[in-house]
Structure 1
């Protein structure tokens, strides 16, 4: 199992446990986190934008060019921003910490 820490917009920390192979977006939504995922994980929007803790960011595979294009549309994007629909949990990501951004821009990229 993989533990994930969500830091809410108000600073509240929630830790959940998920099975390896689960997508972070689905785990977040099941926990009631305010990630819309308007495009249902098709990488056609940025409404599942999260900010990954710096210590965890390098554990993730590099984002694709399409993901980087969507992140260009995300409100408040940072150097460690990713789309939750593109993060597949693995055992080595145990303890992954992500922050939920304070604002979301719902713009279709395609």
Structure 2
């Protein structure tokens, strides 16, 4: 099966937006790393043990994708930035067609 390109945006704490593309199956964290997005440190490399890839999604995109696992919810309880209703760990969001057009906000405290 061919991988599909998924286009979405990262939005910095100061409101600057950067449109990026990833392939289905990649994680939002991988796309951030590949595109040099500041504020997504991902110090644990995506093993869900540090919380430094914490992001906020726009409400519509959050509602369209799979809900976070219990383990992800536990990790979100200890992230350094304020948790929002649409908080996710970017290492746990796999790109699919339901993520196209999403807005991924990076918390100010991660810069």
TM-score after normalising by structure 2 = 0.89
Indicate the residue corresponding to 1:24 in structure 2: 28
- What is the CA-CA distance between 1:90 and the residue it aligns to? 0.4
Number of matched pairs: 104
Distance between the aligned counterparts of 1:54 and 1:92, measured in 2?
Answer: 13
List runs of 5+ in structure 2 lacking aligned partners. Answer: none
Q: Moved runs in structure 1, 4+ residues, more than 6 A?
A: none
Higher helix share: 2
- What is the CA-CA distance between 1:92 and the residue it aligns to? 2.2
Indicate the residue corresponding to 1:76 in structure 2: 82
RMSD: 0.9
Matched residue SS, 2:85: coil
Matched residue SS, 2:75: helix
Indicate the residue corresponding to 2:41 in structure 1: 36
